[in-house]
Amino acid sequence: MFHKLLIANRGEIAVRIERACAEMGIRSVAVYTDPDRFALHVKRADEAYFIGDAPLAGYLDARRLVDLACETGCDAIHPGYGFLAESADFAALCAEAGIAFIGPDAKVIARMTDKVRSRRLMQDAGIPVTPGTLTELSSLDEALVQAEDIGYPVMLKAVAGGGGRGIRRCESAEQLGKIWEWVVAEAGSHFGSEAVFLEKCIVDAQHIEVQVLADRHGGVIHLFERDCSIQRHNRKLLEIAPCPRLTPEQRAYVGMLAMRAAQVVGYENAGTVEFLVRGNEIYFMEMNTRIQVEHTVTEAVTGVDIVCEQIRIAAGHKLSFRQEDIRHHGYALQFRINAEDPRNDFLPSFGRITRYYAPGGPGVRTDTAIYTGYQIPPYFGVLCLKLIVWGMTWEETLNRGIRALNDMRLQGIKTNAALFEAILRHPDFRSGNFDTGFVASRPELLNYSAKRNPEEVALAIAAAIAAHAGL
């Protein structure tokens, strides 16, 4: 097993990896830029090293991170998600330096992060892919011709895209013409490539993804599926495991497809294969070659520690489980509690957290790097914490989610917590009647009341009295 592991990331995922290292007896090494001097992942690590004043540059400097790992005696690097997690160049640099990269081989990353290439690979393997182009588009004129053949609505996507960026829905040729330059520019600025392609927009579909694990000894398993249909502008808000609407036959089928996808590309480590499902139609979308933000719900229903398993696989061990060992029990939900104001077009709400109290009780987990007094920097995104709840039944899980959201105290900034409570109380969601258009098609969800409990009112009154008295 590894002796020392450098975490090439920050925030809650860095803390999550540090916890796994602590359980496995591995020393953890954190890195941080100037805005993260007082971050929790820096405080919790066994060692921490400064990588620059600029907020983002240090986290994106692959060469510097590999050199630092060598200098500090690390024998492995975990990239987390985001930043360099799906960088084939980063994985290759690790291999050249003799440091284990906690993820797949650089060639596999390059193959699967190219969405056009991965679509061709899957189609050749007999895995159904979403109708669309199998090559990069050379011009708007070509896009217009292809869109007519595919049939509107279509999705214009960045070939190297991810995280909801570099993607727009087009209802007509006129709209495609208007957004072409914008998507190409965003693809170039965020992913370093202006290449784009077209995909049929599958309306009223569910976004289903399957967690896979594979080792270098030929072992491949899946940990069942997650439903990621609750989204806004193609960015996930709430994730569920397992999907409450899949039949046992569909569940077995998507699991088989995901394992086949991993085997076709010679995959190793943890990965996620994403599908669109509408009725009995199931289409491959893409494969994410890293740990997912929402891995927590899979851990909750299967009992498998995915991060520890990642580390074991990278160290050369065989999978700890066979497929027949994996069972799912109950349901789990993950809420991405973001620093944003849903009723003000989800405007970010960066600032100082004046009070944070994590919910607890049966079936409740929080993954976070915030604390009372923490200043949320405006450079890294809006995620504050991931609140995960588990229950034996769907109804129990929903009710536990409402209770946990009400238990949580996060003051000093605005969050989307009340929106989640509105979603959980909505009759369509409770009956399992939801798809990727759920949030957009129900504007009434934003009519939630900005209620304040008696404790918060008392605190506000006490603060006002103290200010007036000059205390």
Extract the tokens encoding 421: 């409570």
d(CA 34, CA 216) in angstroms, rounded, equals 38
Backbone angles phi, psi at 78, to 5 degrees: -110, 125
Q: How far apart are CA 91 and CA 87, in angstroms?
A: 7
Strands (E), 263-412: 269-278, 281-288, 331-338, 340-341, 347-348, 355-357, 364-368, 383-391, 409-411
d(CA 367, CA 81): 14
Sequence-separated (6 or more) residues with CB below 8 Å from residue 140: 176, 177, 180
- 8 Å CB contact between 155 and 126: no
Give how far Cα 323 sits from Cα of 267, 271, 450, Å.
Answer: 16, 16, 46
Task: List C-alpha distances in Å: 12 to 42, 113, 288, 384.
Answer: 11, 24, 19, 8
Q: Which value, to the nearest 10 degrees, does the dihedral of the CA atoms of residues 154, 156, 159, 162 take?
A: -100
- Three-state helix/strand/coil letters over 85-133: CCCHHHHHHHHHCCCEECCCCHHHHHHHHCHHHHHHHHHHCCCCECCEC
> 10 Å Cβ neighbour count for 323?
13
Q: What is the DSSP string of 41-62?
A: HHHHSSEEEE--SSTTGGGG-H
Pairing relation of β-strands 235-241 and 269-278?
unpaired
Query: Are the CB atoms for 432 and 394 separated by under 8 Å?
Result: yes
Catalytic-residue membership of 290: yes
Element at 323 (helix H, strand E): none
Choosing from 16, 111, 251, 290, the catalytic residue is 290
Element (H, E) at 327: none
Beta carbons of 118 and 160 less than 8 angstroms apart: no
Active site residues: 290
